[in-house]
Structures are given as C-alpha cells and as structure tokens.
C-alpha cells in the first residue's frame, strides 16, 4: 500500500514539474534565439558599418616624399615650382634599422608590453576596458601601439563604443598587412613629442641637441616619456614630472627583461641635460613666404575636412606626401606686397606698451576670385608658419562693414537709391556720434557714405533693412561668419544688432582674407567666388585630392554694384579714403576705424584687383597717429600692382537704361541754380532718377534800389525815415539807389555747428 502511494506521489511530482521545465526551456530558447539574432545583427553591423572603413593602408599616408607648390607663369602658361616642402620643419623620417634599440624597447615597455605577442589588439587590456564601460567608468585605455598609430593617422579619437569597435577591426586588419617593425617605424616617426616636434628625430634635437642615434638609455626613456602627455611631461615645462615618468619607464624595461638592473640604476643616476640644437649636417631651410604659409594652412584644413584626417595626418601629407599643389599666386602682385610689407620703415610705430604696429593685406583677382597675394605681417619674415594675420586674425571692421551690411543690402532690396535722403542726427539719445564730431542735417546716401556718417548708416539699417535680415545677408551672400549667439559666463554676445552691423562692432571680427573676397563682389558685377589660394591638389600618383569650386554665386544685382561702385569712388576722391588714392586708375573703397582707433581698415578695389588691409597691434591698443595707415599701405602696394595696367571703368548696366542728372546734395532732388555749392552729378537707372526739383533752396527776394521818387522803395519800416528830410534817407543814397545784392541768392541750410557729444558707451567708429 505504501509503495503504491509512493508511486502516485512521484507521478504527481513529475506532472507538477512539467510547467517549470517548460518555463525554463522557453526562457532558454528565447535566450538562444535572442543571442543568435543579436549575433547576426552584430555581424551585419560589423560587415556593413565597420569593415568598409577597416581597411587602412600606409600608402594613403606617405610621409617621406617631397611636396611641390606650383604657380602659373602668365607669359608662358606653364606651371613653375614655387616651393618644395619637406618634412624638415616638423619631422625627419628615420628607418627602423636606424632607431636605437633602447628607444624601441622603452616605447614597447611603457605603451604596449605584449606588442610582440598580440595581433593588433591586446584582449586582456580590451576586456578591462569593456568592464569599465559596463560599470560606468572611463572606456578609454587598452590601446595598443598599433591602435595608437591608427588614431594618429585619423581623426577618430571620440570616446565611443563605435570608434572602439572600428579601431579593433582596423588594428586586426592592419597587422595582417604590416610587420611589427614597420608599425614601430611609423609609430615612432608620427608621435607628437611637444615643442612642435612630430617624430623622434626632431624631438631628439629639440630636447638633447643631438642626433637620435646618439641618445643614451636615460635619454631614450625621457624622450618616450613625453608622448603620454606632452604638455605635462615636457622637460622644459616640468623636468621633475619628466624624471618621474622616465624612471617608471626604466623600471618597466627592467621588469620586462629589456635591460639589466645595473643598466637601470645607471640610467636613473645619469644627469639629464636638456639643450636645444640643430642638425648641422642639414642645409638651413629658408622660411616660407606668407603666401606659401597660407597655402599650407588651407590645404591641411581642406584635407582634414574632405578625408576625415587628423591635424597630424593632414600635415604629414602636405609636408612629405609627394603632393602637387597648384597655387593661385601671382608672383608680380606678391612681389609688390613683399616690397612694402617687408620694410618695417613703412609702418615704424610702437604702442605705449612697446608693441610694434602690425598690418595684413589680402589681394584678390576680380576676374576669378583667386587670392593672388597676401602678407601676414610687417617686417622681415624669419620663421615658417608663424601667425598669419591675413588669414588667422579677425578684428572688428568698423565702418568698412557699411557697404556690405547696410548700403548694398538696402539698394538690393529696393529700399533706397544713392539719392535717398536721411537726416544726420542721433538715432537715440546722443548715439551714435560721428568721427567728425557733429551732426550735419539732411544728406543723400552718397554723402553719408563719403563722409562715413554713422547716424545715417544706423537709421538705414534700423528703418529699412533690419539687423536680422542684414545678418542673414552677410552670411549667405558675402559668406562672412558672424556670431548668432554666444554665452561667455553670464554675458550674451551676438552680431545681430545695430552697432555690430552698421558700425562694425562685431564679436569676433573679420579677416582681410574674407573681407577682400566680399568686397570683390562689387567690381565683379555681383558675383561671389569662394576665395582660395590653390586651384587643385594631386597626390603622388597624379590623382586629384582637392579641387577648388570655381562656380560663382550671384550675390547682388548688377545695378546694386553699379551704385556702390559710384558711391565708393567718391569716398576715395574726396571722402575719408583720399589717402588711398593715386592717379591713373579708377579706384573705390571704404575706410574703417573702431573705438579708440584700436583697429584701422581700408578695403578697396580697382577694375583689376580687390585688396583689404588691416592695421593695429597684436594686443589691441589705441593707435595714437594721424590718418589711416591702412589706406596708406593699400596705396603703396596697389600703386605698384597697377604700374603697368591701363585705366578702365567698372562694368555698368546697358547705357540706354541710365541717365545722368545734377542733384541737390541736401534734398536729393534735381538741382536748380539756387542750390549753389550743393550740386552734385550722378548716373542712375532711369527708374531711380528724381522727377521733381529741389524745394529746399529758394531764390532770395529781389528788392528794388532806393529811389526817393518811387515810394515803393522807401524803407517804411524805419520810423526815422522822412521823405522830406534827406538826412533820414539811406546814408549811401543821394536820391539814387543803394546796393542790396545778396550774392548767389542761396538761403542758409541747416546749421553745421558741431554739437558737443554726450558720453556714450556704445562704439564710436567712422
């Protein structure tokens, strides 16, 4: 009986366990299926996303070939070499066989001790990195020398899972194609070691003043110690930290059997003598000119953007990738620039704090938009790739922004014509003030631009264009990069405002490079070309890597540029820009002066070339000199540039659509003989020409001469007058006439007595 009960209980237990087994089985099946699906998805992700980018070839990063920069000879049409670029400025390539063994061992010991055992990925270190990721810690670290080399050759340094996965597969693929020796050779020639040194050769001279082959064990460990964090372990900055790092590397070398205990101790005890030196066996390299510097900078930037390269990889390609760079340089124009800008005597001023006055210029060919010449500083250039103020320095443009941000836009939109009249008076309270220290009443746009009237520019922007539209116009038409919104601390900065766009008080400012490109739209009839110092770049096999976009963009109507050209000619002839004028050539342009004269500008053009000039101090200080040296520098350069060019006019619309009129400078209407010295002459589109005559200036009333026989000429308003008493007649009259001629019959216009400007915190600019 008991056995039967026991069997029944077992059967009941099995029945009870079946649902549990089913649940466990179902969960297990779900896990298997889910795992399989995830594995398939991961495989597809690797195949579709990772593997296409995993193939990385060193041939894509040739770093031991000479790059050539060419220019086109105008006479022959041939491409001639301007400059050969070598890696000597920041790198000299050392073959693996010539690298000291201690240097190799030091790098492997501290950076990747299992380098010779793994196949590109150290799975032990990688696993630790994955654990850190899932525990919310930093997922950096674990990179092998192979992975570090890949990061040095690309820009993919983001701390993301995708980047780590791609890096792993790239490293595995990389070591299938290259030996350990080749990887070490490239790694040691590419690592950044501070003090502007890329690679161990130049670093050896920078820190120890000797060839890398002469480095001792102690020096090898010190040098390799820098690469982990050059700003922290640079021995010139912190020799103590470098020493600690060096001894750590020596300990690792000893622990891994790379050196003996005696060698380790001896190296630790060796005094490190840091001394800068040069390779005397190498020929001294002449500094590149300003133009070559600009070409190098632009090509590096474009290679980075186009091919997703790091700064280091792009620079390596330019310096020693065997590239062929076809520049836009015009040697004759650059020679004119160099003749003026290399002579410190042309701008020999010093600030109160001892800074030398500096200047920069960029010249653009109006025909095609090519940047044909530039200079990034005044005086003899003694180094390559120093601060290039023409391309790298941005400064507030002052009133030189007015034709771009105010007048051309208002004309383009049909809101004003050159003869539109506005009153020169404060816009609000006592702001803005004018450089000439007064308010002159009513004036046309021609006159406002000629004398650089601030109040009129502000009113045109506020009443007609609006800052918001001007901002978009500057960005989209003239391609000037402005600040829409930027918060620094608790302060908000923006370039969308009256003072910024009408008076040039921009947050960052502009460069002469961008200003010249923008101004060249005017003499070109409204077409904007993106400025460039090169036309194309080929690799060492002749494949096109970069090519300049030669397509122009319509920025302004031809009528707009015709009006601006005429208005800016008046600035040079008799306005604020007379210092830039020279005979024999049609010229136009605009000055710019910022608050306290910290920055001075002149942007101008002929039918042939456009040039923008900035003058100031590297650290902004007030310039206590008379006049505008930017206009003077512009004239000195451009007069040389145009010495053998014939004069010609700017392009204009069909003559049948134009009419030339005499106008009143006060009313903007057709002038009459009563307007006297206020008469100007201008050519306009027929639709914009004034139809009515000036009503501001009227003829003076004509009075008859005194005649005792004509009662209508008696001075009846004189109570002392008595017709019967000659002694009361006008003193110079004897019964005949008195002279009462009023001259030219002109009635006085609004007073021009300067008003005393009130204190104002807003920019005062011309």
Is the distance from CB of 664 to CB of 671 less than 8 angstroms?
yes
Q: What pLDDT does 455 receive?
A: 98
Is the distance from CB of 540 to CB of 548 less than 8 angstroms?
no
Which residues contact residue 381 at a Cβ distance below 8 angstroms, ignoring those fewer than 6 apart? 287, 289, 290, 342
Single out the residue of 293, 291, 208, 284 nearest to residue 242, CA to CA.
Answer: 208
CA distance 516 to 373: 11
Q: What pLDDT does 734 receive?
A: 45
The torsion defined by the Cα of 16, 20, 23 and 25, in degrees rounded to 10, comes to -110
Looking up tokens 């969308």 gives: 496
Residue 594 backbone dihedrals phi, psi, to 5 degrees: -100, 175
Helices 145-153 + 101-111 axis angle, to 10: 90
Which residues contact residue 78 at a Cβ distance below 8 angstroms, ignoring those fewer than 6 apart? 72
CATH number of this structure's domain 398-530+551-594, picked from the four choices 3.40.50.720, 3.40.50.2000, 3.40.50.1820, 3.40.710.10: 3.40.710.10
CATH number of this structure's domain 87-269, picked from the four choices 3.30.230.10, 3.30.1330.10, 1.10.3810.10, 3.40.50.170: 1.10.3810.10
Single out the residue of 125, 139, 106 nearest to residue 171, CA to CA.
Answer: 125
Dihedral angle sign, alpha carbons of residues 496, 500, 501, 506: negative
CA distance 329 to 323: 17
The catalytic residue positions are 111, 399
Helices 290-307 + 331-341 axis angle, to 10: 120
Residue 24 three-state SS = helix
Query: Mind spelling out the 3-state secondary structure of 348-409?
Result: CCECCCCCECEEEEEEEECCCCEEEEEECCCCCCCCCCCCCCCCCCCECCHHHHHHHHHHHH
* Size of the chain in residues: 766
> Exposed e or buried b for every residue in 117-130, given b needs 16+ CB within 10 A?
ebebbbeebbeebe
CA distance 8 to 4: 6
CA distance 477 to 490: 32
Q: What pLDDT does 6 receive?
A: 60
Which residues contact residue 231 at a Cβ distance below 8 angstroms, ignoring those fewer than 6 apart? 194, 237
358-365 β-sheet, strand order:
371-375, 358-365, 609-616, 599-605, 588-593
Which residues contact residue 93 at a Cβ distance below 8 angstroms, ignoring those fewer than 6 apart? 63, 64, 87, 189, 199, 201, 320
CA distance 686 to 314: 55
Bridge partner list, 601: 592, 614
Is the distance from CB of 359 to CB of 377 less than 8 angstroms?
yes
Q: What pLDDT does 764 receive?
A: 53
Q: What pLDDT does 197 receive?
A: 80
CA distance 309 to 76: 37
CA distance 359 to 618: 9
Q: What pLDDT does 755 receive?
A: 38
In 10 A of CB 541, how many CB atoms?
Answer: 8
CA distance 690 to 662: 10
Bridge partner list, 424: 441
Q: What pLDDT does 666 receive?
A: 94
The reply to whether omega before 260 is within 30° of 0 (cis) is: no
> Exposed e or buried b for every residue in 73-92, given b needs 16+ CB within 10 A?
eeeeeeeeebbebbbbbbbb
Q: Average pLDDT for consecutive 10-residue bins of the chain (766 residues)?
A: 57 58 67 59 48 56 76 93 73 86 95 86 69 55 79 61 68 84 90 83 91 95 92 89 95 96 96 82 75 96 89 80 94 98 96 96 97 97 92 97 98 98 96 95 97 98 97 97 94 96 97 98 97 95 93 96 98 97 98 95 98 97 94 98 97 95 96 93 96 87 74 76 79 44 33 36 53
Cite the DSSP H helix spans in 523-661: 558-574, 629-641
CA distance 564 to 541: 47
The kind and range of the H/E element at 142 are none
Helices 261-269 + 239-255 axis angle, to 10: 170
CA distance 162 to 53: 12
């Amino acid at each position: 009986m008991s056995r039967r009960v026991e069997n029944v209980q077992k059967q009941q237990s099995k029945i009870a366990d079946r649902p549990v087994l089913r649940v466990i089985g179902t969960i297990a099946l779900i896990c298997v299926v889910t795992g399989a699906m995830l594995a398939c998805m991961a495989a597809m992700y690797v195949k579709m996303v990772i593997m296409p980018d995993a193939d990385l070839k060193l041939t894509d990063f040739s770093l031991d070939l000479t790059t050539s920069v060419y220019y086109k000879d105008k006479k022959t049409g041939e491409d001639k070499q301007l400059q050969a670029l070598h890696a000597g400025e920041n790198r000299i390539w050392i073959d693996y066989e010539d690298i000291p063994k201690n240097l190799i061992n030091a790098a492997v010991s501290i950076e990747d001790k299992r380098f010779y055992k793994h196949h590109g990925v150290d799975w032990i270190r990688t696993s630790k990195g994955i654990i850190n990721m899932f525990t919310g810690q930093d997922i950096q670290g674990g990179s092998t020398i192979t992975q570090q080399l890949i990061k040095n050759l690309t820009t993919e340094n983001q701390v993301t899972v995708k980047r780590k996965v791609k890096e792993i597969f790239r490293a595995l693929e990389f070591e299938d194609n290259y030996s350990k020796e080749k990887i070490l050779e490239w790694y040691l020639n590419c690592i950044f070691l501070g003090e502007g040194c890329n690679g161990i050769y130049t670093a050896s001279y920078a820190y120890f003043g000797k060839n890398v082959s002469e480095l001792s064990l102690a020096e090898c460990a010190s040098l390799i110690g820098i690469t982990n964090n050059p700003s922290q372990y640079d021995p010139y900055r912190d020799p103590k930290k470098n020493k600690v790092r060096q001894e750590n590397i020596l300990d690792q070398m000893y622990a891994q059997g790379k050196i003996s205990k005696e060698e380790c101790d001896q190296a630790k005890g060796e005094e490190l003598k840091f001394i800068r030196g040069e390779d005397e066996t190498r020929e001294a390299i002449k500094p590149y000119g300003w133009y070559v510097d600009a070409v190098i900078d632009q090509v590096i930037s474009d290679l980075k953007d186009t091919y997703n390269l790091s700064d280091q990889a792009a620079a390596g390609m330019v310096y020693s990738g065997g590239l062929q760079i076809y520049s836009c340089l015009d040697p004759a124009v650059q020679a004119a620039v160099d003749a003026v800008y290399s002579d410190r005597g042309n701008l020999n001023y010093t600030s109160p704090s001892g800074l030398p006055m500096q200047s920069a210029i960029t010249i653009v060919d109006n025909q095609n938009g090519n940047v044909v010449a530039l200079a990034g500083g005044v005086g003899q250039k003694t180094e390559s790739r120093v601060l290039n103020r023409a391309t790298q320095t941005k400064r507030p443009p002052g009133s030189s922004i007015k034709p771009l941000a105010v007048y051309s836009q208002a004309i383009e939109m049909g809101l004003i014509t050159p003869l539109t009249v506005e009153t020169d008076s404060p816009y609000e309270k006592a702001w803005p003030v004018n450089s000439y220290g007064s308010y002159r009443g009513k004036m046309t746009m021609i006159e406002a631009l000629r004398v650089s009237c601030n109040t009129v520019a502000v009113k045109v922007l506020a009443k007609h264009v609006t800052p918001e539209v001007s901002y978009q116009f500057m960005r989209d038409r003239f391609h000037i990069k402005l600040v829409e919104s930027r918060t620094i601390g608790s302060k908000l900065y923006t370039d969308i405002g009256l003072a910024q766009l009408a008076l040039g008080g921009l947050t960052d400012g502009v460069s002469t490079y961008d200003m010249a490109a923008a101004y060249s739209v005017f003499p070109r009839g409204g077409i904007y070309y993106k400025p460039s110092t090169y036309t194309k770049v080929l690799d060492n096999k002749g494949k096109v890597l970069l090519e300049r976009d030669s397509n122009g963009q319509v920025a302004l109507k031809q009528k707009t540029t015709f009006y601006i050209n005429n208005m800016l000619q008046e600035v040079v002839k008799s306005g604020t820009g007379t210092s830039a004028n020279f005979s024999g050539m049609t010229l136009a342009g605009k000055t710019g002066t910022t608050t306290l004269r910290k920055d001075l500008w002149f942007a101008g053009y002929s039918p042939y070339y456009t040039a923008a000039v900035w003058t100031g101090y590297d650290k902004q200080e007030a310039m206590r000199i008379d006049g505008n040296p930017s206009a003077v520098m512009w004239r000195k350069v451009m007069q040389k540039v145009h010495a053998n060019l014939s004069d010609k006019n700017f392009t204009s619309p069909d003559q049948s659509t134009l009419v030339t009129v005499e106008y009143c400078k006060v009313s903007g209407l057709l002038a009459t003989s009563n307007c006297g010295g206020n008469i100007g002459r201008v050519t306009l589109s027929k639709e914009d020409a004034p139809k009515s005559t000036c009503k501001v200036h009227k003829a003076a009333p004509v009075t008859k001469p005194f005649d005792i026989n004509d009662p209508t000429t008696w001075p009846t308003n004189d109570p002392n007058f008595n017709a019967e008493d000659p002694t009361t007649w006008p003193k110079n009259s004897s019964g005949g006439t008195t002279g009462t001629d009023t001259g030219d019959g002109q009635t006085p216009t609004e007073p021009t007595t300067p008003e005393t400007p009130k204190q104002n915190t807003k920019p005062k600019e011309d």
